[in-house]
Amino acid sequence: MKQILKQLETMRETARQGGGARRIEAQHAKGKLTARERVDLLLDEGSFEEFDMFVEHRATDFGMADQKVPGDGVVTGWGTINGRMVFVFSKDFTVFGGSLSSAHAQKILKVQRQALKMGAPIIGLFDAGGARIQEGVDSLAGYADIFLENTLASGVIPQIAVIMGPCAGGDVYSPAIMDFIFMVKDTSYMYVTGPDVVKTVTHEDVSHEDLGGYRVHAMKSGVADGAFENDLEAMTQVRRLVDFLPTSNRERPPVRVSFDEAEREEPSLDTLVPANPNKPYDMKELILKVVDEADFFEISPDFAKNIICGFGRLDGQTVIDSSRKAARFVRFCDAFEIPLVTFVDVPGFMPGTRQEQGGLIRHGAKLLFAYAEATVPKITIITRKAYGGAYDVMSSKHIRGDLNYAWPTAEIAVMGSKGAVEIIFRNQTAEELVAREAEYKERFANPFVAAARGYIDDVIMPHGTRRRIVRGLRSLKGKTLSNPWKKHDNIPL
């Protein structure tokens, strides 16, 4: 018996060594942690239960029969984050470059299926070279099986991907279906084909970083929802995000004890909006002053910066502050019963050929659709401009906003005053137009016309914003609203 126990421990130790000391050293030299070190940082101490430590691939071609490493390049299992269950898979780059074999895919599928059954989030840590080249079509089959599970789990459990090294070929599509993708600066890159293949096919010389580094995806393409300095920060921040989320669509988001007074007033908000309507101000300051303990997890902070979205809590309860880039985000929140709090200062859709040729109509429709179909509590506060389409789209009363407030500084009109008078008084002189503009501003650039129609429920003092939102959310706890039965909708993709 003792002998067997000893043998088990030896086998475990071999599996823990992954691709061996030399490759682990190389991993560290690149500033990266190993698959297991990452899992240890992500989960509560001692909570990790590993599955399939002894799984090996079954390939024989290309001399693979003699090259077997227990675990086969991915560490899988479950553990807890602040006491709540999550499932994890963590690619081990030290074993065949983290590449995906049939056996490796089976391990991931096991945790995906278990997470869906248990109603717990799944977190994938990616550091891999794509399909295991030696396995051919079996590897492709494994990927497709994983994509299917990702799709079925979408909207049922939160799915989070963290790219912590290369993420190439088949590996990119599982994160792409998941809810959030984060990267690690300077050590991670995501692309369908790497620089070598690009060179062969298009003769273009490009670095890993310029093809798929965090600057590409967190700033330009919008594929990633954020980038962190290093592995440690990435794991810490994912823990923070998970804390805002429900474990599945069967559960409510976690309510945390908050020491931040619901009644807290913020007198500085009364002077936040500058007198000059063209002068910007810091919307993030408003968010930080309103949410509990100024704790706000921002999504995509470096992409489409004119719109801020992320998670915060009000009265201990998770909500979001939403935006156009976040049609996706609004849908995530609706799927997981997270109320939407929307602050509006939007002068309308950006005009121009670039926008129109880029499909502004279809993209704008995404947000409109997302807000209109959302049935979670929706509170809207117009702080300054809500012109034209922006007024309608940004969670207005007309698309089932539950509580719609405006600050006294709000300007609710079909369009900006200059553009408006130039159209309706086309034949008038420049001086006349100036007078007309002042008249138009006086008439429309305020919240009271909308309030007189009941489109705005109340014009509120900025300093009382937090109190009004908290009371609003409490009043909406019992909200029930459902959409007509359908197989699924056809969101304007």
Name the minimum Å distance from CB 258 to ligand HXC: 44
**Considering only 110-118, 127-135, 275-283, 353-361, which stretch makes contact with ligand HXC by CB under 6 A?**
127-135
Contact residue for ligand HXC among 48, 51, 173, 281 (CB under 6 A): 173
Closest residue by Cα to residue 85 from 250, 328, 288 = 250
Q: Is the dihedral of CA 375, 448, 405, 416 positive or negative?
A: positive
**Gap between the Cα atoms of 310 and 52, Å rounded:** 36
Q: Which of 105, 111, 131, 415 binds ligand HXC (CB under 6 A)?
A: 131
Question: Which residue's CB is nearer to ligand HXC, number 92 or number 266?
Answer: 92
Q: What mask of x and - would describe binding to ligand HXC in positions 444 to 473, judged by CB under 6 A?
A: ------------------------------
In whole angstroms, give the CA distance from residue 269 to residue 287: 10
Binding mask 68-97 for ligand HXC (x = CB under 6 A): ----------------------------xx
Q: Which two tokens stand for residue 109?
A: 């599928």
CB of 194 to ligand HXC, least distance (A): 4
Exactly one of 59, 120, 161, 390 is catalytic; name it: 390
Residue written as token pair 């390049």: 73
390 is annotated as an active-site residue? yes
Asked if residue 400 lies in contact with residue 393, where contact means CB atoms within 8 angstroms, the answer is no
Query: 77 or 129, CB closer to ligand HXC?
Result: 129
| Catalytic residue of the set 98, 129, 170, 472 | 170
Closest CB 91 distance from ligand HXC, rounded Å: 11
Closest to ligand HXC by CB, 168 or 319:
168
Indicate whether 133 belongs to the interface with ligand HXC (CB under 6 A).
yes
Is the Cβ of residue 173 or residue 281 nearer to ligand HXC in the bound state?
Answer: 173
130 binds ligand HXC (CB under 6 A): yes
Q: Which of 33, 115, 168, 415 binds ligand HXC (CB under 6 A)?
A: 168
CB of 189 to ligand HXC, least distance (A): 8
Angle at Cα 35 formed by Cα 31 and Cα 38, nearest 5°? 70
Determine contact, residues 78/87, Cβ cutoff 8 Å: yes
Task: State how far the Cα of 88 lies from the Cα of 81, in Å rounded to an integer.
Answer: 11
**Residue closer to ligand HXC (CB basis): 71 or 166:** 166
Q: In this chain, which of 41, 53, 85, 140 binds ligand HXC, going by CB under 6 A?
A: 140
132 touches ligand HXC (CB under 6 A): yes
- Is 143 or 182 the residue whose CB approaches ligand HXC more closely? 143
| Residues whose CB falls within 8 Å of the CB of residue 6, separated by 6 or more in sequence, listed in order | none
Least Å from the CB of residue 97 to ligand HXC = 2
Report, in Å, the least distance between residue 72 CB and ligand HXC.
11
Q: Name the 3-class secondary structure at 54.
A: coil
Q: Whole-number minimum distance, CB 87 to ligand HXC, in Å?
A: 22
Least distance (Å) from ligand HXC to the CB of residue 19?
A: 6
Identify whether 128 is a catalytic site residue.
no
CA distance linking residue 50 with residue 52, whole number of Å: 7
For 378, residues 6+ apart whose C-beta sits below 8 A from its C-beta are 339, 340, 342, 371, 395, 400, 401, 402, 403
**89 CB contacts (<8 Å, ≥6 apart)?**
74, 75, 76, 107, 108, 111, 122, 123, 124, 125
Residue of 119, 316, 389, 419 marked catalytic: 389
Q: Which residues fall within 8 angstroms of residue 185, CB to CB, at 6 or more apart? A: 214, 227, 228, 229, 230
Q: Does 102 bind ligand HXC (CB under 6 A)?
A: no
Q: Which is nearer to ligand HXC, 159 or 380 (CB)?
A: 159
Q: Does 175 bind ligand HXC (CB under 6 A)?
A: no
Interface with ligand HXC (CB under 6 A), residue total 17
Rounded Cα gap, residues 339 and 444, in angstroms: 30
170 is catalytic: yes
Interface stretch with ligand HXC, choices 124-132, 152-160, 261-269, 442-450 (CB under 6 A): 124-132
* Closer Cβ to ligand HXC, 99 or 188, answer by number: 99
* Secondary structure (DSSP) of 244-294: HS-SSTTSPPPP----S-TT---GGGGGTS-SSTTS---HHHHHHHHSGGG
**Terminal Cα-to-Cα distance of the chain (whole angstroms):** 61
Please, which residue, 159 or 187, has the CB nearer to ligand HXC? Answer: 187
Binding track, positions 192-231, relative to ligand HXC; x by CB under 6 A? --x-------------------------------------
Q: And the tokens for 237?
A: 């921040």
- Catalytic site includes residue 389: yes
Angstrom CA distances, 191 to 40, 169, 207, 223, stand at 27, 7, 11, 11
Class of residue 483 by CB neighbours under 10 A (exposed 0-12, middle 13-18, buried 19+): exposed
Residues 6+ apart with CB under 8 A from 199: 205, 206
Q: Which of residues 78, 89, 143, 180 is near ligand HXC by CB under 6 A? A: 143
Catalytic option among 169, 310, 364, 388: 169
Q: Which residues bind ligand HXC (CB under 6 A)?
A: 23, 96-97, 99, 129-133, 140, 143, 166, 168-170, 173, 194
Annotated active-site positions, please?
169-170, 389-390
